[in-house]
A and B are shown apart, each in its own frame.
Chain A
């Protein structure tokens, strides 16, 4: 850097000497309390209600709000149905371990369970191509995916996340927000038919306004 040997050392020594006389950052805890923001909640912890079930609803809002993406979610949702996970499997090995789940009173998955089944992604890739891989059109992508596969497989969600660049947490949040989107194959015909009569509120709005929402010129099939 410099042509004078030892200048860097001298500058470093000067820096530490200045720090020596600067005010200190330490808070002497029992006597002084830190001045924390009003919404500060301290350590992250999953809580249980009086029935012993996890209060966390796997809504992913914390993961979405986390500015440095340190919150990540994995494991089963509260009803033990869907395996949601947004990180590498080894991160969640401890939490998925059966004895740990039993000890903590959480639902235990089927031992023959696999993360998610493989998926033929050709149809999905066509859908994504149609929607220009645009994460802003997530709802349309999800609806088209459900139309193609009958439901939203985890593998499809991961594929969408990977291709569009949207966070898995956001996609899951979007998918779980809408009633007509589901994560498992429809139980019967009636449930499958629900898809066609989708979004009654939006249908009412459309009838009222005589126009389409969301800039979908000509509507989607």
Chain B
């Protein structure tokens, strides 16, 4: 029995399926690429004819893939930020400033034994984390990251978002039910009660905004908040913003509403019987959820991809002032690299070594103890930083989607930080406080916001 056969016999049934599919997929993909290269025309025509399908497949793949770095980044942020708030250093061993620790965590979870308790319903037990994760991932499809950079622009985008986000609770219930453990079942029911309760104020708080916006398409909502930051909906719907953020915290199972997990009380609730990557998927979904809800907050209330100020007047002003000061630069910010022709090639070949030498020279000349190769490394790194910054600046000015993506991600990670910050500060609420707060405070406040908005709109329009 060879080692390969032994390894194969140890795999579970899903493992055998996956390990059969991976080479199949590799063959299919390389075959597709070869087909495009060899008989380009017809294949491209077929793809062009079914652009919607191609676009959907590409979007689904990209969305599935980007959840991984997003979740890793969130996990790292969580570890590091909470550590810093506890006067600890946090992860600092794996990678620069411990940045690779979440990757190592992921590998660790992958290598752990995936255990199914006897008496559990194996099918439901296996699919529960998939459902939770898929619910989180499916919502990304409608998120507008930047102008032209989104999976799909539905005219019912927000409705779709809430519908898909609400599916996550099905996964939690499935996990709790299939675990064959009464405490898991209780944990699942409890988290279902929590999430369903908070879904109502979450959805209702947005209705006022929808009355103002007149559309459910997230892209259109973002476009309506164009211009200066005073146009953002947070200034027209402040109460809705507060309700939405609180309900989103509960929806993402984050402290102070993380009764779903409640590690100190009910040992992870529905996830008690989970181990290995199935357990990992629940938490993967949680961290992706944090990102998604932050992103939705930004899209709805904080202008999405829009910068808080208008950059074009600023550029025009600079363009108008510089010649007045006697500075005449031939450099135009909207540079077209293709227009340079052959000199571009020399630029690419010559600038990096020259820049490295240029940045290395002061270190080597001014510090006698420095070895030449250390100076070269420092010069290379500095050149990379400067060149990267310049390229980013150029891309920011030249491409609308780069600027939009930067603003969108920046705002989103501010909210991710706030989520982590709250986790580092607030204690967990009791279950009756949680329910009482949702039904006695958030729901009436959301209704009040809705009615006041509706009245205001009627008064203004009549």
Binding site for B on A (CB under 8 A): 9, 12-13, 15-17, 19-20, 22-26, 28
Contact = CB atoms under 8 A, between A and B. Distances in A.
A20 B85 contact: yes
B421 A9 contact: no
B425 A16 contact: yes
A25 B87 contact: yes
B88 interface: yes
Contacts of B106: none
Contact of B81 (A20, A22, A23, A28): A20
Contacts of A16: 85, 421, 424-425
B84 A24 contact: yes
A124 to B, nearest CB: 49
Contact of B88 (A12, A13, A15, A26): A26
Contacts of A12: 425-426
Contacts, number: 34
A58 to B, nearest CB: 40
Interface of B: 81, 84-89, 92, 421-422, 424-426
Contacts of B81: 20
14 contacts: A9-B425, A12-B426, A15-B425, A16-B421, A16-B425, A17-B421, A19-B85, A20-B85, A22-B87, A23-B87, A24-B88, A26-B87, A26-B89, A28-B92
A24 B425 contact: no
Contacts of A20: 81, 84-85
A12 B86 CA distance: 13
A34 to B, nearest CB: 15
Main DSSP-derived SS at the A contact region: helix
A-B residue pairs, 10 tightest by C-beta: A26-B89, A16-B425, A16-B85, A25-B87, A12-B425, A19-B85, A20-B85, A20-B84, A16-B424, A26-B88
Contacts of A17: 85, 421
B426 A9 contact: yes
A6 B327 CA distance: 54
B87 A19 contact: yes
A13 B89 contact: no
Given A15-B425, A19-B86, A24-B84, 19 more contacts: A9-B425, A9-B426, A12-B425, A13-B421, A13-B422, A13-B425, A16-B424, A17-B85, A20-B81, A20-B84, A22-B87, A23-B87, A24-B87, A24-B88, A24-B89, A25-B87, A25-B88, A26-B89, A28-B92
Contacts of A24: 84, 87-89
A28 B89 contact: yes
Nearest to B242: A6
Contacts of A23: 87
Contacts of A15: 425
A95 to B, nearest CB: 32
